[in-house]
Amino acid sequence: MNTDVLIIGAGAAGLMAARELAVKGKKVIVLEAQDRIGGRIHTIYENGKVIELGAEFVHGDLPVTLNLLKESGIKYHSASASMWRYDNGKFTTTEVFIDHWDEFIDKLNKLEQDTSIHDFIETEFPGDKYIELRESVRQFVSGYDTANPKNASSFALRKEWQSEDENAQHRIEGGYIKLLSYLATECEANGGQMKLNSAVKDIYWEPGKVSAIAVDGITYHAERAIIAIPLGVLQTDAVTKGTIVFHPLVKEQQDAIHQMGFGAVIKILIDFNEAFWENVQTDDGKSLRDMGYLFSQEEIPTWWSQFPERSTVFTGWVGGPDAWAKKDATDDELLAESLQSIANIFKKDIDELQSQIRSWHVINWTSRPFIQGSYAYDTVEAPFARKTLNTSVNDTVFFAGEYLYEGPAMGTVEAALTSGKNVAEKIR
């Protein structure tokens, strides 16, 4: 089967590139290993609710994402909400959770030589005085960025924290998949083709010519190929399910791939019969009715509601090294840990919580063969590796994905869409 451009992967980056190229008149075939489009975007509909098993938020007023939503006529609404912490048996809400945070940011801004955030806090903030600060930074980097603090770049985190607008959080009405479906429809309307259940195992290439062999034995031929699969899959060894082998090897690019960071995450969504957290009163008489996000020291530490929408869905999240340590746990084990965490926070009986469950989902992204993790984070070496991967291999093999994004919204759908758009502009 022949085409102008082969795109491997129907996630946000792959579909954005496919739409852009198809609109320009290129013949495009998208090969997707799974039985659905979307990659790490996976929306389902259950009990009359939108359930986001993957990406859920638009983290900021992000230009590519918001322009696409406007173009497509897809509505979105604010997901900004109050943040709470449960610690030492008490609920508290405050704009700044971390003692010595201003001092930490001041020293981070003065840092001249990049190093891991772990080494930075151990060197600059030693001793008992800063125990809470060090632990809070590690938890934030692990939870929000799903990164290993021992590998995560201090410079990249500084850039992220300086650029964030925490008040600008949005959810897409009807779910993120609506945006991806729009891109796929646009691609197909301009002659592009989508091939699901078409995992690629080998790519043979030479300048101006690419052949991709799928696991079902079908071979696809093109002048160029865009590799738009998750970084975690690219980092796996040749015997792991989902791995693509290049013939000949693209050694410089493969070395660069292994210099970049890819996080780990587990997401747990539980739909209860009632939103019991809305009825909680704190010791000082405040209500949790409008709580959006809840942070704790529990085994599953981070939780959020669907506020401002009134919903009975409660979402748990564990990222970074803690998620990696749980990657081989069963869904039942992870549900049990989730319920125990909720029980500890809200002083609930586990059997009672269990009886109140309408439905539940555990999404262990780190254990999924065609995903292998969460999203990218910068290591110290990542900026140099990204330059290599943003350069085509003989104008024939291109890479696209959120890990190749240069701006402050790294690890987001915005990053993936931007990368897909940029790589499409390189193909004439």
CATH number for the domain harbouring residue 256? 3.50.50.60
In the 8-state DSSP scheme, what is residue 4? E
Which residues lie closer than 8 Å to 260 by C-beta, 6 or more apart?
A: 231, 376, 378, 379, 381, 382, 385, 386, 403
Does residue 352 belong to any structural domain of this protein? no
Does residue 200 belong to any structural domain of this protein? yes
**Which pLDDT band holds residue 208 (cuts at 50, 70, 90)?**
very high
Q: Provide mean pLDDT across the span 85-113.
A: 87
Return the minimum-mean-pLDDT range out of 89-103, 147-161, 165-179: 89-103
pLDDT at 241: 76
pLDDT at 161: 83
Q: CA separation (Å) from 337 to 119, 343, 344?
A: 31, 10, 11
Q: Provide mean pLDDT across the span 344-373.
A: 96
User: Hunting for tokens 């975007």 — which residue is that?
Assistant: 41
pLDDT at 166: 55
pLDDT at 167: 62
Return the minimum-mean-pLDDT range out of 136-140, 164-168, 276-280, 386-390: 164-168
pLDDT at 165: 56
Query: Rounded to whole angstroms, how far apart are CA atoms 279 and 346?
Result: 10
pLDDT at 146: 96
Does residue 153 belong to any structural domain of this protein? no
Q: Is the pLDDT of residue 414 over 70?
A: yes
Q: Which residues pair with 362 in a beta bridge?
A: 268
pLDDT at 168: 82
Percent of the chain residues topping a pLDDT of 90: 87
Return the minimum-mean-pLDDT range out of 92-96, 143-147, 407-411: 92-96
State the chain's mean pLDDT as an integer: 94
Which residues lie closer than 8 Å to 64 by C-beta, 6 or more apart?
A: 414, 417, 418, 421
Q: Provide mean pLDDT across the span 18-32.
A: 98
Which residues lie closer than 8 Å to 219 by C-beta, 6 or more apart?
A: 1, 211, 212, 213
Does residue 368 belong to any structural domain of this protein? no
pLDDT at 25: 97
Q: Is the pLDDT of residue 95 over 70?
A: no
pLDDT at 162: 80
The answer to whether the CB of 68 falls within 8 A of the CB of 23 is no
Does residue 286 belong to any structural domain of this protein? no
**Which pLDDT band holds residue 272 (cuts at 50, 70, 90)?**
very high
Neighbours of 225 (CB within 10 A): 26
Does residue 414 belong to any structural domain of this protein? yes
pLDDT in tens, 309-345: 999 999 999 999 999 999 999 999 999 999 999 999 9
Instruction: Strand 76-78: give its sheet, edge to edge.
Output: 58-59, 169-172, 76-78
pLDDT in tens, 215-255: 999 999 999 999 999 999 999 986 677 789 999 999 999 99
Q: Is the pLDDT of residue 287 over 60?
A: yes
pLDDT at 242: 79
**Structure tokens that stand for 258 in this block:** 């292994």
> Total structural domains in the chain?
1
Region of 175 please: left (phi>0), alpha (psi -120 to 50) or beta: left
Return the minimum-mean-pLDDT range out of 110-119, 276-285, 385-394, 398-407: 276-285
Closest C-alpha to 147, from 378, 328, 316, 325: 378
pLDDT at 164: 59
Q: Give this prediction's pTM.
A: 0.95
Q: Give the CB-side neighbour count of residue 163, counting CA atoms within 13 A.
A: 14
**Domain span at 34:** 2-77+173-261+380-426
Query: Rounded to whole angstroms, how far apart are CA atoms 312 and 306?
Result: 8
Q: Provide mean pLDDT across the span 256-285.
A: 95
Q: Where are the beta strands (DSSP E) in 207-332?
A: 209-214, 219-227, 245-247, 261-262, 265-272, 291-295, 302-304, 313-319
**Structure tokens that stand for 217 in this block:** 């034995």
pLDDT in tens, 36-73: 999 999 999 999 999 999 999 998 899 999 999 999 99
Q: Is the pLDDT of residue 273 over 60?
A: yes
Does residue 393 belong to any structural domain of this protein? yes
Does residue 241 belong to any structural domain of this protein? yes
Q: Is the pLDDT of residue 207 over 90?
A: yes
pLDDT at 20: 98
